[in-house]
Structure 1
């Protein structure tokens, strides 16, 4: 039988790269959703209005700011944007020819579907950058190379309520020369929370393996890590009687952010940290780990 692999994420629709890859490479993938997402419909409507009002057109716009329903009661400035940034599939809910910047192949695939339908002349960049920091440095080169307008239009960044600020900090670094600096305007279009049912659902899956060995759990974010360790009795939740005994489950993280969170908060070292946040990156990390065990 193919070895099981538990993917702690919601299966992407219509296709999921992790499902496709692991199913084709002799694994039996199972998805266990960790997060639930609530969209800010008023802010999404405001983004659509930007397209309708010509905020992405080459000509300057004199329209009044579009009011947003955010905690800060902010408004979108009445200025143009030269492109958009996405670091999450959840932010890719949109209806000119502009560059679309993304980090990671999964979001790029979602963007490609939407681009083909709504923005067929736009281009997608950054799918292989792997991290927000890498994407930001790539954008400093790429966007400044293609954008010759003075003053330079900024970028619209669609984000979740919880996000790192590495991209806007890097692009708007005050130490950069004016000609290099890129203005970024963030709009929160969704918020994320751990599903109340996750721990119970995950425990049900774990108990269903009845002592099978070599089962992999792939963790995609810090959310759910504590529940995952508790169910697997790993890290600070390892029972004294089972400490040092043979393990049935192994843990891989999608990247260093989640790995470092497990180290910092639970003094737990995952077995694998993918070098690239992709199905191939996870699989290569698992392959190397298993090869090391078999030496």
Structure 2
């Protein structure tokens, strides 16, 4: 029996090849669609605006650490605001401040900020790391070697809402102080319910069997109340509701399974043995 499969994840953004999960399900005879559940938004831009406006000397900063394209986007947005509001009257100068970047993509995004007209004094010019610092650990090692263990300095660290402790711990152990500023965060997609309705309209209505695949606890917490408006999800604490309307749930891994079962009290039929398209399709196929 053919099943519809709802994948609670963003599809791969690559025009040259199909999404791996959707393609893998299609090859096994399923009708699958991916729907983005989360989106990233910029936050605390007014705080960053004041830092950029005052400049590194007034703020006592010896440089900036940037570990993602989103952090670069935050700096770019603030620069555009300041150029529009202040123009050339702003005498702040960031051109000599080192910007430490994780990976080539982040370094390239920083360099591109200088393309904003009249932004020379606010744009990153001294970009360090990049291709040689593709991980947080490598960047921390690079910064420590670049600054030196005997030099006391404070670096502005632009972060998101989910950050590993590796880089800040290594730098603080090396005597470098950090001024942390969260400039982006993850939240539920404002388009999810609209995208879900569009997806339901595009899937065959004669397929009575549904699989819904969860990929992360954070996404599950946001999306489950919305899904309950369209499906009767199998719940542990609701008698007679298991597999209502032939809806089955799958988890991409044990962490997601535990959250679905223990926190959301949902019945999960399948957990992928590995977080790969092939393993997920195989697990669902074995339970179908």
- What CA deviation, in whole Å up to 9, does each residue of 1:222-277 have, x standing for no partner? 45143256244335388644415795544345894x555434421347544796xx
- Deviations for 1:128-157, whole angstroms, at most 9, x for unmatched residues? xxxxxxx5x665555445543532545533
1:48-94 superposed Cα distances (whole Å, 9 cap, x missing partner) = 558xx4x4xxxxxxx212xxxxxxxxxxxx121263234xx643413
Cα distance in 2 between the residues matched to 1:242 and 1:186: 47
Q: Match of 1:267?
A: 265
Larger Rg over CA atoms: 2
Stretches of structure 2 that go unaligned for 5 or more consecutive residues are 27-31, 77-96, 114-123
**Corresponding residue pairs, total:** 242
SS in 2 for 1:64: helix
Q: Paired residue for 2:79?
A: none
Instruction: Give the alignment of 1:107-146 within 5 angstroms.
Output: 111=106, 114-115=109-110, 117-118=112-113, 122-123=129-130, 125-126=133-134, 135=136, 141=141, 143-145=143-145
Return the match for 1:188 from 182, 190, 193.
182
Once the two structures are superposed, the pairs formed by residues 1-295 of structure 1 within 5 Å of their partners are 4-9=5-10, 20-22=19-21, 25=24, 27=26, 29-35=33-39, 37=41, 39-46=43-50, 48-49=52-53, 53=55, 55=56, 63-65=57-59, 78-81=60-63, 83-86=65-68, 90-93=70-73, 94-95=75-76, 98-101=99-102, 111=106, 114-115=109-110, 117-118=112-113, 122-123=129-130, 125-126=133-134, 135=136, 141=141, 143-145=143-145, 147-148=147-148, 150-151=150-151, 153-160=153-160, 163-164=161-162, 166-167=164-165, 180=174, 182-190=176-184, 193-194=187-188, 198-199=192-193, 201-202=195-196, 205-206=199-200, 208-210=203-205, 211=207, 213=209, 215-220=211-216, 221-222=218-219, 223-227=221-225, 230=228, 231-234=230-233, 236=235, 240-243=239-242, 247-253=246-252, 256=255, 260-268=258-266, 271-272=270-271, 281-287=275-281, 289-290=283-284, 292-293=286-287
Partners of 1:272 and 1:285 within 8 A in 2: no
Structure 2: distance between partners of 1:147 and 1:44: 24
Question: How much has 1:36 moved relative to structure 2?
Answer: 6.9
CA gap 1:16/1:45 in 2 versus in 1, 3 angstroms: farther
CA contact (8 A) 2:155 2:176 kept: yes
2:66–2:72 contact (8 Å) kept in structure 1: no
* Residue 260 to residue 232, structure 1, CA distance change in 2 (3 Å): same
Deviation at 1:43, TM superposition (A): 3.4
The 1-side partners of 2:257 and 2:158 are apart by 25
CA 1:260–1:213 in 2, change beyond 3 Å: closer, same or farther? same
Q: Shift of the alpha carbon at 1:123?
A: 0.5
Q: Distance in 2 between matches of 1:261 and 1:291?
A: 23
Name whichever structure is richer in helix by fraction: 2
Q: Residues 19, 100 of structure 1: CA spacing in aligned structure 2 closer, same or farther, 3 A cutoff?
A: farther
Report if aligned partners of 1:43, 1:189 keep a CA contact under 8 Å in 2.
no
Instruction: Give the TM-score taking structure 2 as reference length.
Output: 0.56
The answer to whether the 8 A contact 1:225-1:262 is kept is no
Q: Deviations over 1:207-233 (max 9, x none)?
A: 755335464534443451432562443
User: What CA RMSD, in Å, does the superposition of the two structures yield over aligned residues?
Assistant: 4.9
Structure 1: 5+ residue stretches without partners:
56-62, 66-77, 103-107, 128-134, 276-280
Kindly indicate whether structure 1 or structure 2 has the higher relative contact order, using CA contacts under 8 Å at least 6 residues apart: 2
